[in-house]
């Protein structure tokens, strides 16, 4: 370095040091030969550069985060927001290296513009840079809920909750992916009709509200979702079920009565054969059955908890039943059929794992109902063991499936429903199981049912037989009819044990019947089967 360069460098650093230490520039320089006028700094030299706000930003329904490029030498930044008239200061950031700001407490689906200025503090004075260009952002719109639908054989009308934003986007699930089928460019229009659909087919739709930031970006909220089937099947006419008062109601809030058949144990012999589409269709169309219950024994030989190969076989059968029922527009009950195990807590961890899997898989299915413990028995009580088990299982299912109906078993083989009065689970879509076998459980259990129903307890007869509680002997048509008339009078649902050809009184089919392809009419039916079919048919208006 030659002498001239060294001298210049020294003079510049002296000036900088003077500035930092607060000496007035140029004042009192006297005979200081190191203070030539050419290095006296003016305000312009301290002015930081104009801020560039980055293109990308993030947002939620009530906050926006903007980011900008660091300005060299800046001591900090100030953030302004446009209020429609003026730019209002909303934050000062006292650090030159902080280049981000999150503005919270905003309204959803709303446009917000920001500017950012850098400043540099010298000698107690702030020197301000030029404000950035206006940065356009928006918050996201809030989640849409699809509140109701109506349908014809070729169209579905969707109605949803109004949100703030520019409008709504409507999506339809088509061959494996979500396709945007419409944009409703008016935030006050909260309805859309999807036409050109096919009858007897199931469709899925989503709707979300959005807000653009006027610069090309669209900030959409969470979607509302529905699955709807067209046609006249039970599922098409009734949609997702829920509980209202002491009854199960359909998507329009009208009382809906389940009339179902239960399989015998799906892991045994050919008892799962009834789950073919052909046979379920006969039950639906010739019998007037709207629900199939799949009894998956948990502990008896070959039961779910007795080996992983049994478990996976059972799950495959459950899936076959759910899918075939769904395609026919029927409801399907996944029954954790405890019996010999007595206390539902005995296999609670397996039940939690099973229903976690089921609820993940079927959370969007409108036809699935979970039955979490068929028949607690062996001295267990609602307050002692069953309620706690049900609470755990309901929480397990609700992690994924927010609203499907859950059937909770009760003590003494699901006869102690009265123990639940005044001590229900808080979940509003739970119903409580009452089981009867007509030749064993008579007036005393009917009067218990009436007391419970009248107290507002939602009850379902998720299993009944026309005979002795053993399932064999004692066929009793008149007691069966007394029971079914009573339940009909309250619109309370029932499911008959069982749709199989095992040679026992409870079976609906004669032994030797090919359950894979049952026939319409009565030629394959037992006494019990004939009674049930004719009762169900008359209730279904056939
Ligand atoms: C019965 C079957 C019978 C089987 C027995 C034991 O009909 O073939 O051998 O289970 O697995 C229930 C139970 C249901 C019983 C039925 C008749 O939920 O599993 O099925 N029953 O005993 N509760 C009351 C009666």
pLDDT in tens, 175-227: 999 999 999 999 999 999 999 999 999 999 999 999 999 999 999 999 999 99
Nearest in space to 182 (alpha carbons), one of 163, 208, 204: 208
Burial of 332 (0-12, 13-18, 19+ CB in 10 A): buried
Using an 8 Å Cβ cutoff, are 198 and 155 in contact? Answer: no
Q: Kindly give the pairing relationship between strand 191-194 and strand 167-174.
A: unpaired
Q: Give 342's DSSP letter.
A: -
- Are 258 and 118 within one domain? no
Calculate ∠ Cα 55-121-125, nearest 5°: 130
Q: Known catalytic residue: 350?
A: no
- Are 210 and 95 within one domain? no
- Are 374 and 519 within one domain? yes
- Are 238 and 382 within one domain? yes
Q: Report residue 44's pLDDT band, with 50, 70 and 90 as the boundaries.
A: confident
Please report the sign of the dihedral spanned by the C-alpha atoms of residue 475, residue 481, residue 483, residue 484: positive
- Are 435 and 493 within one domain? yes
Q: Which ligand 1 atom is the nearest neighbour of the CA of 300?
A: 11
Q: Which ligand 1 atom is the nearest neighbour of the CA of 506?
A: 7
Question: What distance lies between CA 98 and its chain's CA centroid?
Answer: 39
Distance from Cα 276 to the centre of ligand 1, integer Å: 22
Most ligand 1 atoms within 8 A of CB, residue of 293, 295, 339 to mutate: 339
Assigned token pair, 301: 């030989």
286 lines ligand 1 (CB under 6 A): no
- Are 33 and 134 within one domain? no
User: What's 209's domain CATH number?
Assistant: 2.60.40.10
Distance from Cα 470 to the centre of ligand 1, integer Å: 6
- Are 438 and 307 within one domain? yes
- Are 335 and 384 within one domain? yes
Nearest residue CA, atom 11 of ligand 1?
Answer: 300
- The count of domains in the chain is 4
Nearest residue CA, atom 1 of ligand 1?
Answer: 471
Domain that holds residue 244: 234-539
413 lines ligand 1 (CB under 6 A): yes
User: What's 296's domain CATH number?
Assistant: 3.20.20.80
Strand, coil or helix: 263? coil
Distance from Cα 208 to the centre of ligand 1, integer Å: 48
Integer-rounded Cα Rg, in Å, for the chain is 36
Q: Give 130's DSSP letter.
A: P
Task: Look at the chain and count its residues.
Answer: 542
Distance from Cα 32 to the centre of ligand 1, integer Å: 110
Residue where a domain terminates, one of 163, 194, 229: 229
Q: Report residue 40's pLDDT band, with 50, 70 and 90 as the boundaries.
A: low
- Are 190 and 242 within one domain? no
Nearest residue CA, atom 13 of ligand 1?
Answer: 339
Using an 8 Å Cβ cutoff, are 166 and 187 in contact? Answer: yes
331 lines ligand 1 (CB under 6 A): no
- Are 426 and 387 within one domain? yes
Q: Report residue 41's pLDDT band, with 50, 70 and 90 as the boundaries.
A: low
Q: What is the C-alpha separation between 51 and 132, in angstroms, rounded?
A: 5
Q: Which residue has the tokens 């109506």?
A: 150
Using an 8 Å Cβ cutoff, are 370 and 394 in contact? Answer: no
Question: What are the tens digits of pLDDT across the range 59-115?
Answer: 999 999 999 999 999 999 999 999 999 999 999 999 999 999 999 999 999 999 999
Q: Which residue has the tokens 């639908």?
A: 149
First to last CA, the chain: 108
Nearest in space to 394 (alpha carbons), one of 381, 408, 384: 408
Distance from Cα 37 to the centre of ligand 1, integer Å: 106
Nearest residue CA, atom 8 of ligand 1?
Answer: 471
Q: What percent of the chain has pLDDT over 70?
A: 92
Question: What are the tens digits of pLDDT across the range 419-476?
Answer: 999 999 999 999 999 999 999 999 999 999 999 999 999 999 999 999 999 999 999 9
pTM, full prediction: 0.85
Using an 8 Å Cβ cutoff, are 446 and 492 in contact? Answer: no
Distance from Cα 295 to the centre of ligand 1, integer Å: 10
Question: What are the tens digits of pLDDT across the range 323-377?
Answer: 999 999 999 999 999 999 999 999 999 999 999 999 999 999 999 999 999 999 9
Distance from Cα 424 to the centre of ligand 1, integer Å: 27
How many CB atoms neighbour CB 268 within 10 A?
A: 17
Calculate ∠ Cα 371-373-377, nearest 5°: 150
The pLDDT of residue 512 is 97
Q: Which ligand 1 atom is the nearest neighbour of the CA of 497?
A: 16
Distance from Cα 163 to the centre of ligand 1, integer Å: 52
Calculate ∠ Cα 339-341-347, nearest 5°: 120
68 lines ligand 1 (CB under 6 A): no
Residue where a domain terminates, one of 204, 229, 254: 229
Residue where a domain terminates, one of 113, 138, 163: 138
**Cis peptide, bond prior to residue 404, ω within 30 of zero:** no
Question: What are the tens digits of pLDDT across the range 500-514?
Answer: 999 999 999 999 999
**Could you say which of 202, 299, 371, 463 is catalytic?**
463
Most ligand 1 atoms within 8 A of CB, residue of 267, 373, 415, 497 to mutate: 497
**Helix, strand, coil content of the chain in percent (nearest 5):** 30, 30, 45
Nearest residue CA, atom 12 of ligand 1?
Answer: 469
Q: Kindly give the interhelix angle for 477-489 and 443-454, rounded to the nearest 10 degrees.
A: 10
Q: What is the C-alpha separation between 506 and 332, in angstroms, rounded?
A: 21
Q: What is the C-alpha separation between 507 and 471, in angstroms, rounded?
A: 8
Q: What is the largest CA-CA distance in the chain?
A: 126
- Are 33 and 58 within one domain? no
The pLDDT of residue 131 is 98
Nearest residue CA, atom 20 of ligand 1?
Answer: 471
Most ligand 1 atoms within 8 A of CB, residue of 471, 498, 508 to mutate: 471
375 lines ligand 1 (CB under 6 A): yes
Nearest residue CA, atom 22 of ligand 1?
Answer: 470
**Could you say which of 269, 375, 504, 527 is catalytic?**
375
Distance from Cα 373 to the centre of ligand 1, integer Å: 14
Q: What is the C-alpha separation between 339 and 282, in angstroms, rounded?
A: 29
CA count, 13 A, side-chain hemisphere, 107 = 9
Q: Known catalytic residue: 375?
A: yes
- Are 8 and 134 within one domain? no
336 lines ligand 1 (CB under 6 A): no
502 lines ligand 1 (CB under 6 A): yes
Q: What is the C-alpha separation between 127 and 19, in angstroms, rounded?
A: 14
Please state, in angstroms and as integers, the Cα–Cα distance from residue 201 to each residue in 159, 232, 414, following that order. 20, 11, 37
List helix spans (H) across 185-328: 234-238, 277-282, 308-328
Q: Which residue has the tokens 């397996």?
A: 350
Assigned token pair, 214: 């006027």
Distance from Cα 150 to the centre of ligand 1, integer Å: 41
Nearest in space to 481 (alpha carbons), one of 442, 427, 428, 448: 442
How many CB atoms neighbour CB 133 within 10 A?
A: 13
Nearest residue CA, atom 7 of ligand 1?
Answer: 471
Assigned token pair, 226: 């529905």
Q: What is the C-alpha separation between 208 and 169, in angstroms, rounded?
A: 5
Range from 12-26, 32-46, 186-200, 253-267 carrying the lowest mean pLDDT:
12-26
């Amino acid at each position: 370095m030659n002498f001239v360069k060294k001298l210049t460098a020294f003079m510049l650093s002296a000036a900088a040091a003077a500035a930092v230490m607060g000496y007035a520039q140029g004042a009192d320089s006297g005979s200081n030969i190191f203070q030539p006028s050419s290095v006296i700094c003016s305000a312009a030299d301290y002015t930081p550069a104009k801020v560039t706000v980055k293109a990308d930003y993030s947002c939620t329904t009530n906050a926006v985060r903007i980011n900008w490029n660091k300005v060299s030498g800046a001591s900090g930044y100030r953030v302004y927001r446009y209020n429609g008239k003026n730019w209002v200061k909303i934050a000062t950031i006292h650090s030159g290296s902080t280049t981000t700001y999150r503005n919270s407490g905003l309204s959803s689906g709303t446009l917000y513009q920001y500017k950012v200025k850098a400043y540099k503090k010298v000698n107690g004075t702030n020197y301000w840079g030029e404000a950035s260009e206006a940065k356009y952002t928006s918050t996201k719109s809030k989640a849409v809920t699809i509140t109701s639908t109506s349908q014809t054989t070729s169209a579905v009308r969707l109605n949803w909750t109004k949100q703030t934003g520019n409008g709504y986007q409507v999506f339809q699930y088509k061959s494996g992916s979500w396709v945007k089928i419409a944009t409703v460019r008016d935030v006050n229009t909260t309805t859309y009709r999807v036409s050109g659909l096919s009858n007897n087919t199931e469709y899925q739709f989503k709707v979300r509200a959005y807000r653009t930031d006027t610069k090309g970006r669209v900030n959409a909220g969470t979607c509302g979702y529905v699955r709807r089937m067209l046609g006249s099947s039970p599922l098409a006419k009734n949609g997702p079920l829920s509980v209202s008062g002491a009854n199960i109601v359909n998507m329009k809030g009208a009382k809906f009565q389940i009339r179902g058949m239960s399989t015998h144990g799906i892991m045994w012999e050919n008892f799962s054969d009834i789950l073919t589409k052909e046979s379920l269709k006969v039950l639906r169309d010739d019998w007037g059955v709207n629900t199939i219950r799949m009894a998956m024994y948990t502990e008896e030989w070959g039961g779910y908890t007795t080996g992983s190969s049994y478990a996976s076989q059972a799950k495959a059968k459950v899936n076959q039943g759910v899918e075939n029922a769904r395609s026919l527009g029927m409801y399907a009950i996944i029954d954790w059929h405890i019996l010999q195990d007595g206390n539902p807590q005995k296999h609670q961890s397996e039940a939690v794992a099973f229903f976690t899997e089921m609820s993940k898989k079927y959370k969007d299915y409108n036809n699935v109902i979970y039955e979490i413990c068929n028949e607690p028995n062996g001295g267990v009580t609602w307050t002692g063991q069953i309620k706690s088990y049900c609470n755990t299982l309901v929480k397990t299912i609700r992690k994924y499936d927010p609203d499907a109906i859950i059937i909770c078993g009760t003590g003494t083989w699901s006869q102690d429903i009265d123990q639940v009065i005044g001590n229900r689970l808080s979940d509003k879509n739970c119903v409580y199981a009452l089981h009867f076998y007509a030749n064993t459980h008579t007036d005393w259990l009917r009067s218990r049912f009436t007391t419970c129903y009248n107290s507002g307890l939602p009850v379902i007869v998720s299993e009944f037989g026309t005979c002795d509680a053993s399932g064999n002997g004692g066929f009793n048509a008149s007691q069966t009819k007394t029971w079914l008339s009573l339940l009909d009078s309250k619109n309370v649902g029932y499911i008959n044990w069982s749709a199989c050809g095992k040679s026992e009184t409870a079976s609906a089919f004669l032994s030797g019947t090919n359950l894979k392809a049952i026939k319409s009419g009565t030629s394959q039916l037992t006494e019990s089967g004939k009674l049930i079919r004719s009762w169900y048919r008359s209730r279904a208006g056939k």
